[in-house]
Amino acid sequence: MKRKKLFFQKKAQAGTTLSWFVAVFVILFILVLYFIFAGLLAAERYVPLIGKGGNKISIAKTNEDFKAQKKLFYLLNFPLEEGETIKELIILSELHQDKEAEKKFKENSEIILKSSEEGQKECDLLLINDELIYNNLFKGIIIEGKIPAMYKTDFGYAEIFLFSNQQQINARLYSGKC
Amino acid sequence: MLITKSKKSNISIIILVFLILIVCSASLFIFATSDKKVKVKISDVGLIQDAQLKQEVAEFYIYEAIEKSMVNPYREMLNQDKYIESPSYNLQNKIEFANLYGNLNDYFYSEFRNRFKNEFENYAFQEEYLNNLKNLIAQDKFSSSFDGENLIFETSLLEIKSTSEKNSVVYFPEIFLNISFSRIGLNSFNAIYNSKEKCKGKETAELMKACFSNELGAFDAESAEKIISEEKKYFLISLTSKKKFLIENNFEKISFEFVAI
């Protein structure tokens, strides 16, 4: 009887050990899968090649737009020696073909953009009614006043319309790192 | 008994395996969903910034229209002597400035408001939020006031929509603009009157000129002594704005003259 008891005890112990052996492999397999998936999820956040990539790009772009808009307003409202502003000179030049005003605003645009807060670190491209006025930003070719779409995400962008006598003038500024 | 014990131990192993499976799945699930939350937060920041950009553009156009609508009636009131109460003219047909027109602020404000609305009607916007602004102004859904120096414009009814791929935001910004005469390069009618009161007693044209130049920062002053008869003389004051304004198709300085009495 005792022998029989011992035989059954050993058999039960062997069964339990085998169960644990299999369980350890299953647990290890689950953990390996866990690390792989966790790694993939982490990579999706930080490596642009996997999944949709990082999200920081969209924030950077809107910040750049903010800077570009601030700069464009700064330029348009900048008063010259007798209080006339760049936007007034643009209106005179574009709508009333005033050559003196045209010369004055073209000459001053570069100086004003460079004197702005960000002007020292950043380059700009200014277009008035699709005509290139000033550019130290974009090296490529600009056709019909349009920067190729693939570059647009690299630069901040601001646009404003100036109105006078039921006519409008389009002023656009691209701004980005030199 | 022993067989049941063995079965019990098997169950505990299975439970352990399942628990590990549950813990791993749950942590992966939280990891994956928290990643989405971060994305939403980031895109929300973009939407708010977009709304703020639009608010600044709206404020730019309002400021533009206010500035133009303040300068033109101001110039006309000076040229047509409407700033003077019961205007009278001396023997040489020069306007005598004694008192300010009593309803000057109301008159100026009503002129301003009409021009402001007309100015905005001429703006041809393409964006929806700017057309909302145009409609809002056409329908008088804004408040404004004028105290003689400052023109205050307020509205909180402008609807700005910002949309991204996943979210959209409707934003009603509090727009508050305070535009003073000094900010647009002019002196208020009250300031001109006060300077006239202070300077009218000066005995020579030079002293008169120096006094007006000192009192009115936005104008260059000239003073000329004029003689009507041997006993009668007066000082003609000419004030010309330092700033040039775009009036119709030219840059012009605002200038006017009066006899200080």
How does pLDDT run across B31-80, given as a tens digit for each residue? Answer: 877 755 555 555 566 788 888 899 999 999 999 999 999 999 999 999 99
For residues A63-74, give the mean pLDDT. Answer: 85
Q: Which pLDDT score, from 0 to 100, does residue A6 have?
A: 58
Q: Which pLDDT score, from 0 to 100, does residue A157 have?
A: 86
Q: Which residues have CB under 8 Å from B212's CB, separation 6+?
A: B195, B199, B219, B221, B223, B237, B239
Nearest to B24 among A19, A34, A45 (CB): A34
Of the pLDDT bands very low, low, confident and very high (cuts 50, 70, 90), residue A118 is low
Decide if pLDDT at B6 tops 70: no
Q: Which amino acid is at B118?
A: N
Residue with the larger pLDDT of the pair B211 and A8: B211
Q: pLDDT tens digits for B72-131?
A: 999 999 999 999 999 898 888 899 999 999 999 999 999 999 999 999 998 999 999 999
Q: What is the interface size between A and B, counted as CB pairs within 8 Å?
A: 109
Beta bridge partners of B224: B236
For residues B214-243, give the mean pLDDT. Answer: 91
For residues B140-147, give the mean pLDDT. Answer: 94
The reported pTM is 0.74
Q: Which pLDDT score, from 0 to 100, does residue B2 have?
A: 45
CB contact under 8 A, A8 and B125: no
Element (H, E) at A61: helix A56-76
Residue with tokens 């402008």: B158
Write down the mean pLDDT value for chain B.
88
A17-21, B32-36, B130-134: segment of lowest average pLDDT? B32-36
Would you say how long chain B is, in residues? 261
Angle made by CA atoms B161, B165, B171, in degrees to the nearest 5: 20
CB contact under 8 A, A41 and B17: no
A4-8, A18-22, B188-192: segment of lowest average pLDDT? A4-8
Closest CA to B71 of B34, B38, B37, B115: B115
CB contact under 8 A, B124 and A168: yes
Of the pLDDT bands very low, low, confident and very high (cuts 50, 70, 90), residue A57 is very low
Residue with the larger pLDDT of the pair A15 and A113: A113
Q: Which pLDDT score, from 0 to 100, does residue A114 have?
A: 84
Q: Write out chain B residues lying below 8 Å of A31, CB-based.
A: 20, 24
Q: Which pLDDT score, from 0 to 100, does residue B111 have?
A: 95
